[in-house]
Amino acid sequence: MKQQKIVITGGPGTGKSTVIDRLTNLKFTCMPEISRTVTRAAQKEGIEQLFLNEPLLFSEKLLEGRIHQYNEAERSGSEKVFFDRGIPDIHGYMDYSGTDYPDIFKSKSKEFRYNFIFMMPPWREIYKTDNERYESFEQSLLIYEYLKKCYMEMDYKVIVVPEGNIDHRVEFILNTL
């Protein structure tokens, strides 16, 4: 059995984590978004937004965490593993922010490949900010475009998840697989 590694990605506030939570409740193996964990750890150290203050350090911590998740998925023995964001998201965000970064980010994206990429487009009706999500809806639209471009440049076929209630979105993903 070849394991299917499935990324759920998109701009901030598009419902990714809600989909991942539902898939977890349905007993699928899911790897949660780790950027909030990295952000909260930095906030405890007095850095309000590590991504804004030190984007390269933030991105290095994400890369380390996402590679760890990828390896953990392989060890899980699960037939399908869903990821709340993939490794290419890291350089997609750095491209968006205009941050220079070393080649290791793209080389790791080429080394650790996924089978399916589902993109959640920005959806104004469900968008909201919080302690870790500081981007405006307009920024979410831009980030979405950068992420889509990033995955396409990595030779992935991007599957756009239509708007709809959580059951409809999860059903779309599972039926597509």
Which domain, by its residues, includes 103?
A: 4-176
**What DSSP element (H or E) covers 119?**
strand 116-120
Query: The whole model's pTM is what?
Result: 0.89
Pick from 9-18, 28-37, 132-141, 146-155: least confident: 132-141
Pick from 56-65, 88-97, 157-166: least confident: 56-65
| pLDDT for res 130 | 55
Q: Coil, strand, or helix at residue 48? A: coil
| pLDDT for res 60 | 86
Q: With 0-12 CB in 10 A as exposed, 13-18 as middle and 19+ as buried, what is 142?
A: middle
SS3 percent helix, strand, coil of the chain, rounded to 5, is 55, 15, 35
CATH value at residue 37: 3.40.50.300
113-170, pLDDT tens digit by residue?
999 999 999 876 765 655 555 667 788 889 999 999 999 999 999 999 999 999 999 9
Tell me how many domains the chain contains: 1
